[in-house]
């Protein structure tokens, strides 16, 4: 449980010590503190501890009230700054109330007190602290430096690329149900990232280019984003169909800039959705500018490296049958995303209903009823059950609500897959589109394709 008094004293100690110790850098500051002090992509000393910065960094609404009763604190009414009148007393008060685990969450304090408190190691604390390069403020500053927002081409380019800081990704790997193969591949890539220096030393560079393959809604995008969250890496996402169709004359340049963005934000994950678009373009009579862009893309993939450039490249496709040999050989690992089996469906239902109140909940029975549905489909089923209950002013669901929602979902899905005859189009759209395709949780919306 949060202790406002302790939180504010820790903030004051951290800002004081960081300002004094020039050997410390932004990677030593807890991420919540850094957020307050970023300015034009840098954090300048001295850090100013005021009622405003203390409140923003700690979440304590009235920081001065929290510490005003302590003998060693003071406030300047004019500037709002909070300071120590007796720092030795403040440090002793703080150390009497925290343990090693607490100090290990703050590398600035770990660097100062590692010799005084058993179990505190500065290097370990720093290694576990989210790096400053993954902060939204740092990412924005890098993008501003790399691209001129007054330049129409640069502005258009940034519209085509979605860059997320890891804290902006709500999904974690613990929120997902993975196959044994998926878990194995993710574990290998995590180890490769951790041991990049070793891999470079032994000359193993062909690693870190994954292709996620599977039907829509099976979690390809979700896994890539969750990986960014769990590894504290910026997530650079681009849909290839957009980047090669938006501005014909600029397509090759756009592709090059995508890789430039990724290298500037490295270490990061570069996620390229709709990778089948590459092969589709190569085998068609597409405009020469688009073909040039695709060739530029393949060349750029060849040249980028997890070991040298610290960019993990993940491609994703719903249509592996459309990829040609030139596309396949760019990836060193293919990760299959099949539709979930019964056990996985049951686990998905358990996870996504964690915050729901459901009477007689039996996920195994629901899993039996949902053969062929993806994780994205299951989320849509649950959404419909919740909305249906709300129309009856209920926030507690029943097992029957969920079973009814499954039947309704499958009926609507069958309608969408029917061959529509002339004259019935409007009626079918009204009923069939109610499933809310834009809200699908995994791969760009619900679609019940059966391609593998």
Higher pLDDT, 259 or 294: 259
CATH 2.160.10.10 correct for 342-439: no
Range scoring the smallest mean pLDDT among 85-94, 237-246, 368-377: 237-246
DSSP letters, 313-368, are: EEEEES-GGG--HHHHTT-SEEEE-PPP-HHHHHHHHHHHTTT-EEET--HHHHHH
Task: Give the predicted TM-score (pTM) of the model.
Answer: 0.81
Closest CA to 94 of 77, 74, 116, 78: 116
In angstroms, the Cα distances linking 103 to 99, 144, 361, 397 are 7, 35, 42, 43
- Residue 164, classed as helix, strand or coil, is strand
Alpha helices in 370-424 (DSSP H): 375-391, 399-417
pLDDT band at 174 (very low <50, low <70, confident <90, very high): very high
User: pLDDT tens-digit profile of 14-26?
Assistant: 999 999 999 999 9
Domain 136-336 top-level CATH class: alpha beta
Domain boundaries, the chain: 4-129, 136-336, 342-439
pLDDT band at 425 (very low <50, low <70, confident <90, very high): very low
Closest CA to 335 of 230, 194, 187: 187
């Amino acid at each position: 449980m949060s202790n406002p008094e302790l939180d504010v004293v820790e903030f004051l100690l951290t800002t004081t010590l960081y300002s004094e110790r020039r050997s410390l850098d932004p990677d030593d500051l807890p991420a919540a503190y850094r957020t307050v002090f970023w300015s034009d992509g840098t954090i300048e000393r001295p850090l100013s501890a005021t009622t405003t910065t203390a409140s923003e960094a700690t979440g304590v609404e009235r920081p001065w009230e929290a510490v005003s009763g302590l003998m060693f604190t003071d406030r300047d009414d004019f500037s709002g700054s909070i300071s120590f009148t007796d720092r030795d007393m403040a440090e002793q008060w703080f150390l009497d109330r925290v343990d090693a685990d607490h100090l290990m969450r703050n590398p600035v304090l770990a660097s100062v007190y590692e010799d005084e408190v058993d179990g505190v190691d500065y290097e370990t604390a720093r290694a576990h602290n989210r790096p400053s390069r993954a902060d939204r403020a740092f990412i924005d500053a890098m993008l501003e430096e790399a691209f001129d927002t007054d330049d129409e081409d640069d502005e258009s380019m940034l519209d085509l690329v979605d860059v997320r800081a890891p804290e902006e990704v709500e999904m974690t790997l613990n929120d997902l149900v993975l196959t044994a193969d998926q878990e194995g591949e993710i574990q290998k890539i995590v180890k490769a990232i951790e041991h990049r220096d070793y891999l470079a030393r032994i000359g193993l560079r062909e690693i870190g280019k994954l292709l996620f393959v599977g039907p829509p809604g099976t979690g390809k995008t979700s896994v890539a984003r969750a990986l960014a969250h769990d590894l504290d890496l910026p997530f650079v996402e681009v849909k290839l169909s957009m980047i090669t169709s938006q501005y014909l004359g600029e397509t090759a340049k756009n592709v090059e800039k995508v890789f430039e963005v990724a290298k500037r934000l490295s270490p990061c994950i570069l996620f390229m959705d709709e990778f089948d678009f590459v092969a589709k373009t190569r085998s068609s009579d597409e405009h020469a500018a688009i073909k040039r862009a695709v060739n530029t893309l393949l060349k750029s993939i060849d040249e980028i490296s997890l070991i040298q450039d610290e960019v993990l490249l993940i491609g994703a496709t719903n249509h592996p049958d459309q990829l040609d040999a030139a596309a396949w050989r760019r990836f060193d690992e293919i990760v299959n995303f099949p539709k979930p089996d019964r056990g996985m469906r049951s686990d998905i239902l358990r996870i996504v209903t964690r915050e729901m109140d459901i009477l007689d909940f039996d996920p195994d029975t629901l899993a039996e009823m949902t053969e062929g549905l993806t994780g994205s489909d299951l989320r849509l089923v649950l959404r419909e059950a919740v909305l249906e209950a709300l129309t009856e002013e209920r926030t507690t669901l029943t097992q029957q609500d969920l079973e009814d929602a499954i039947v309704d979902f499958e009926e609507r899905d069958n309608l969408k897959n029917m061959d529509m005859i002339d004259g019935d189009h409007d009626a079918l759209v009204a009923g069939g589109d109610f499933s809310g395709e834009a809200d699908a949780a995994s791969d760009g919306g619900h679609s019940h394709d059966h391609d593998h």
